[in-house]
Structure 1
Amino acid sequence: MTMTPEQASWFADIVERIVGNVEHVVLGKSYVIRLSLTALLSEGHLLLEDVPGTGKTSMARALAQSIRGTTTRVQFTPDLLPGDITGMTVYDQRSGEFEFHRGPVFATIVLADEINRASPKTQSALLEVMEEGHVTIDGVTHPVTAPFLVIATQNPIEQAGTYRLPEAQLDRFLMKTAIGYPDHAATVRILDAAGGPRAAVLEPVVELDVVRDMIAVARTVHIDPVITDYVARLVDATRTHPDVRLGASVRGALALVRCAKTFAAIQGRHYVVPDDVKALAEPVLAHRLGLDPESEFDGVTAPSVVAQILVETPPPSDRVAV
């Protein structure tokens, strides 16, 4: 079953309502909010590499409030243990049994703040739940709620006290982007509201059941074979680029297709066009690339490689069938 134009219009209308609601808290960042919703509705996770104080926690909380979900925040530190994230079993002396105490990962939206400050062992505690949607403690599997979104933030790797995320973990994130500083107009509005409540409480605009329906509908967006061929050519080009030692994986190609479907629905279309792929190629593919050390030394960046590949790889010229 393929998404209908009416469903696409319904989908886009709800997204606009959510974006407008979140923008009451996170001013002037409509694009990043849409990327966050794309990750949520594509059943993926978002990585933000940004400086402190740009509103990452506020965005996660506002997004959860807008869909009547729950949110938790985990501050990653060098002494954080895996059980501090997933939860652990504790012996109850009164009952004589072990009880599972849920960790902060059991929420609709989990903010993993400064994820690269924790040790690789603790970072890896998120791998299972991000990929499988459940955690396994002492041989017992505990599913998390659906929908489920991890928004992880990391400091620029040049900062002291950070651990570089391994390629396998970076590949688990559907997209990577940054919120960035607000523009002048948004900064003035933030300062004008500085005397208000410290943490705004938003009214939900949709229920979680509606979000689950949107996730199911997003999977039915039509994507023509010429578009999937275009995605495959882009991914192949990342593997043969002279500045790249590790190209995008098959998971990366699947992620680009999933995101393009959701992004098309967010635009109110029931079919994917090449511009959807182009718009998402950098946030979906760039963080999955491993650059040659000499190229990095010469100033080459993963986003610049993706931009070059987009220029050199012609999009499909045939009319997309819908």
Structure 2
Amino acid sequence: MTTTGPTTSQNGPGEGPQGAGGLPGQQGAAPAAGRSFAGMFDAICTNIAGAVHGKADVIRLTVTCLVAGGHLLIEDVPGVGKTTIAKALARSVDGHFGRVQFTPDLLPSDVLGSSVWNQRNGAFEFRAGPVFHNLVLSDEINRASPKTQSALLEAMAEEQVTVDGTTYPLPRPFMVVATQNPLEHQGTFPLPESQLDRFLMRLSVGYPDRTAELALLVEEDHGDRLDRLRPVVSTEDVLAMAAAASRVYVAEALAAYLVDLADRSRRSATFSLGISPRAALGLLGAARVHAAADGRDYVTPDDVKHLARPVLAHRVVLAPESQLQGMTAEEAVSELLRTTPVPS
């Protein structure tokens, strides 16, 4: 993706904040001729793996999130490659990339853009912020104030931004990749449940294994690997993949299984906040992408189980009794999966 800094200014409202000509591609288009869904999915994963060692599962989940049209929250300690994964994803897609370094003094207008007086025209013109890109890296999002964090709510939920009473559409595909350090680190503000629910997945990169870390230390061109990545798909390809995934068959019994998971979470004493309808829809969409990436045109319960923890764990809130017992959200979701009957 074309990289642009956080102070990027784009065209005014008359020309559209997406830039001259907007972005190509129509929803429902067929995949590129001669390239299967699984082939393009694997191509993106392989390209990212050229800069990220030993994290195949994290990479596949990241690409799944992109194709499913969701947003990604990567939470982990500093220095394990959170930003590298986001940059590698951006470089793998031939679109537009924007980055915002979230700090305590960051303002909503620094993210969304603002109206600027044009003396030549004698009128205010809207100058778009870095959110008007296909992929937006929100680095260390929990270091900004809640006011600035909430500036992304409309963009993430509706793919549009409203500034000074005027609504501007965002380019498609649109994805926010946010990174954050654990909340016990100094200088952080916890993300509210309303914003957490807008992230399709939350992933933890984790430390590399011994082999991957050794390869990282001995390679001479580590600093250049990310710079050498080139796009392997276009934005039209991503939209075509998303449209193809939306046609993956879901049996009524499997849809009922998702409803059962959500209903049990809402009635369970383990949770004080259960699975939302948005979470169930997100899990279904991600499961469709997972099935298509495996070369199938139907979703199985195993697809749902594989994705349930990264899609659901950050959206639920444990009851005080569960927290006192030392249970984590991931463990609670696993127990929910274990106790909910699977359709045959």
Q: TM-score range by the shorter chain?
A: over 0.9
Q: Does 1:86 align with 2:143?
A: no
Is 2:269 the counterpart of 1:242?
A: yes
Match of 1:152 among 152, 155, 178: 178
Contact persistence 1:28–1:182 (CA under 8 A): yes
Aligned to 1:288: 315
Q: Which of the numbers 187, 194, 200 marks the counterpart of 2:227?
A: 200
The aligned counterpart of 2:285 is 258
How is 1:119-130 mapped onto 2 (pairs within 5 angstroms)?
A: 119-130=145-156
Task: Give the deviation of 1:209 after TM superposition.
Answer: 1.1
Distance 1:53 1:69 in 2: 27
Deviation at 1:308, TM superposition (A): 0.6
AA aligned opposite 2:285: R
Q: Partners in 2 of 1:196 and 1:171 — Cα distance?
A: 35
Please, which of 195, 201, 205 is the counterpart of residue 175 of structure 1? 201
Which structure 1 residue ranges, 5 or more long, are not aligned? 318-322
2:287·2:299 contact (CA, 8 Å) conserved in 1? yes
The count of aligned residue pairs is 312
In structure 2, C-alpha distance between the alignment counterparts of 1:46 and 1:261, rounded to whole Å: 17
Structure 2: runs of 5 or more not aligned: 1-27
Query: Corresponding residue for 1:47?
Result: 73
Aligned pair 1:231/2:258, yes or no?
yes
| SS at 1:236 equivalent | helix
Q: Is the 8 A contact 2:53 2:212 kept in 1?
A: yes
Q: Does the residue aligned with 2:313 lie in a helix, a strand or coil?
A: helix
User: In structure 2, do the counterparts of structure 1 residues 255 and 195 end up closer, same or farther at CA, with 3 Å as the change threshold?
Assistant: closer
Alignment-mate amino acid for residue 185 of structure 1: T
Whether the 8 Å contact between 2:216 and 2:222 is mirrored in structure 1 is no
TM-score (norm 1): 0.93
Which amino acid is the alignment partner of residue 70 of structure 1?
A: H
SS of the aligned residue for 2:229 comes to: coil
Q: Which moved more, 1:193-202 or 1:152-161?
A: 193-202
Q: Distance in 2 between matches of 1:135 and 1:119?
A: 19
Q: Match of 2:316, as an amino acid?
A: L
Kindly tell me: are residues 196 and 289 of structure 1, through their superposed partners in 2, closer, same or farther at Cα, counting changes over 3 Å? closer
Alpha-carbon distance change, 165 to 93 in structure 1, aligned in 2, over 3 angstroms: same
Q: CA RMSD in A?
A: 1.8
Please give the secondary structure, in 2, of the residue aligned with 1:287: coil
User: Equivalents in 2 of 1:236, 1:194: separation in Å?
Assistant: 53
After superposition, give the CA deviation of every residue in 1:297-316 in whole Å (9 maximum; x if it has no partner): 32111111001111111211
Structure 1 position 64 matched with structure 2 position 60: no
User: How many angstroms apart in 2 are the aligned matches of 1:248 and 1:197?
Assistant: 41
Counterpart code for 2:339: E
Counterpart residue number, 1:218 = 245
**Contact preservation (8 Å) 1:65, 1:201:** no
Alignment-derived partner of residue 23 in structure 1: 49
Task: Letter of the 2:191 partner, please give it.
Answer: L
Residue 48 of structure 1 contacts residue 151 of structure 1 at CA under 8 Å; is this kept in 2?
yes
Shift in Å, 1:293: 2.4
2:15 maps to what in 1?
none
Once the two structures are superposed, what CA deviation does each residue of 1:88-114 show, in whole Å capped at 9, x if it has no partner? 111122322212111111112111111
The aligned amino acid for 1:220 is: R
> What does the per-residue CA deviation read over 1:177-229, in whole Å, with 9 as the maximum and x for residues that have no partner?
11111111111121122555454231211221111111111110000011111
Is the Cα–Cα contact under 8 Å of residues 72 and 111 in structure 1 kept in the other structure? yes
Taking the aligned partners of 1:18 and 1:213, their CA distance within structure 2 comes to 14
- Counterpart residue identity of residue 212, structure 2: A
Alpha-carbon separation, structure 2, partners of 1:64 and 1:289: 29
Report the 3-state secondary structure (helix = DSSP H, G, I; strand = E; otherwise coil) of the residue aligned with 1:88. strand
Is the CA contact (8 Å cut-off) linking 1:15 and 1:266 kept in structure 2? yes
Per-residue Cα deviation, 1:57-106 (whole angstroms, up to 9, x for no partner): 22112112112122222111111110111111111223222121111111
| Residue 313 (1) aligns with residue 307 (2) | no
Residue 117 (structure 1) aligned with residue 174 (structure 2): no
The amino acid that maps onto 2:238 is V
Q: Secondary structure of the equivalent of 2:59?
A: helix
Which contiguous aligned blocks of 4+ residues in structure 1 show a shift greater than 6 angstroms? none
- Could you say what secondary structure the match of 2:299 adopts? coil
* Superposed CA offset, 1:235-264 (max 9, x none): 112112212111111111111111111111
Give, in whole Å, the separation in 1 of the partners of 2:229 and 2:149. 31
* Cα separation, 2, equivalents of 1:128 and 1:117: 20
Query: Contact 1:60/1:71 (CA < 8 Å) preserved in 2?
Result: no
Taking the aligned partners of 2:191 and 2:265, their CA distance within structure 1 comes to 20
